[in-house]
Every structure is written in structure tokens, then in C-alpha cells.
Amino acid sequence: MVATQVQVSPLFTTSLLTEVWAEGAAALGPLKAAILERQRQTTGVQLSNVLGWQSDDRMPEWGGDAARRLLAHVQARCEAASRDLDGRRPRWISNMWANISQPGASNQTHSHPGAYWSAVYYVEDGYGGSPDRALGGELVFLDPRMPMVRARTPDLRWRKPDGRHDSQEVWFRPSAGRLVMFPSWLMHSVRPYRGQGSRISIAMNFTARFEAA
């Protein structure tokens, strides 16, 4: 009997875009200074953040030129990564805010309803160059098919061609200067940060609007 070769095709993948922003080396200092000054001036808001400080979402107004350049760069990434089937070009509505996480801070699981793309840029990762995984603070993405595929058999997993099994969540360890962009509907959280310093990041949402015909 001749064995047939099985072809495995990944269907309906979820796009996660990461890059090191080319202008980040020059922008990190001004961004950090603007965020720390905003923290000094305001008490911040309480949304998904636990223990950490979160600014208002008007950072383009108070974050200086570096914040506006970062926002423009990510918007260009949104445009390049999106395609309207009717050939229209959307008008992107954005908001942008800063986060400071002290030791023990985290973010509860959430998504960003109404937006199309979301992104986070890490100004300071808080690890001080340490590779120690016990420092936590990972950005966690949840499998959007959950919990349906685990409802009856929670421990039964799909075995990948390389022998590994799939997971219901993916952890991304931040690093200063790195940008992460993902669909806004994707549920995500941040594990408790256990470092000794502060984690500083910038979050952004982009909503697509089309002009009426």
C-alpha cells in the first residue's frame, strides 16, 4: 500500500505585525520625557490597567513631535496592511495613550471594540537587559476561537506537523523600541510585571471610516 502525503493548510490566520521603528533611537528620549511629565500633571484613567498609570487618549496633543511621527508611521502601516474590496481608501480615526507599569502592574483581558487595528510601542521594557522570564510583563494574545474548541475536551489539542501542539494563548515579551500591531478584535492582556523599574509603553487604535457616496 502506497502512503499518501497529507498537506496541511493554515486557514484564517490572524496577522500580528512587529518591527523595530527606525526612528525609535532618536524618539525614545523625547517620548519618555513627555509621558513622565504627563504623569506628573494628571492622575490618569482606570480602564483595563491594574495598578499601572494610563493617560488620556489625546497623546498627539501633548506628546510632542515624536508622538505624532510615531502615530503617522503606524497609520501608514495600517494603510499598507488593509485593502478595501471596492478600492476605496478609508479615513483613519486614531487615538493614542501612554501606560506606565510599576512592579505588580498588569492589564486585564480586553479588546478594542469599534477599532480596526491596534498597536503598542515600547518606550522602556523595564527588564534592564535581563532575559529572566520571571520578570513577567508579557503581552498575551488569546486564541479567538476560544472557548468553543475547548468546551468539551479542554486538554485535547491539535498536533502540528512538527510534533508540537497548539496553544490557547501566545505570549510576546516586549523590548524597548519594538512596535506590535494586531487586529483590534483580538483579545489580549498583559501579565503582571515583576521588574524593579518601570515599563513605559504607548498604545494606539485606528478606526476606518468611509465617506458617504
pLDDT, tens digit only, all 213 positions of the chain: 667 787 888 788 899 999 999 999 999 999 999 999 999 999 999 999 999 999 999 999 999 999 999 999 999 999 999 999 988 889 999 999 999 999 999 999 999 999 999 999 999 999 999 999 999 999 999 988 877 777 778 788 888 888 888 888 899 999 999 999 999 999 999 999 999 999 999 999 999 998 765
* Backbone dihedral angles phi then psi of residue 82, each to the nearest 5 degrees: -125, 150
Give bridge partners of residue 107 from the DSSP assignment.
49, 190
Distance in angstroms (rounded) separating the CA atoms of residues 201 and 108: 16
What domains are defined for the chain? 17-149+166-209 (2.60.120.620)
pLDDT of residue 122: 98
Q: What strands lie across the sheet with 117-124, from one edge to the other?
A: 17-20, 178-183, 117-124, 199-209, 91-101, 53-54
Distance in angstroms (rounded) separating the CA atoms of residues 111 and 119: 12
Q: What is the DSSP letter of 158?
A: P
The pTM score is: 0.90
Residue labelled with grid coordinates 496553544: 167
Question: Dihedral of the CA atoms 58, 64, 68, 71 (nearest 10)?
Answer: -60
CB neighbours (10 Å) of residue 109? 12
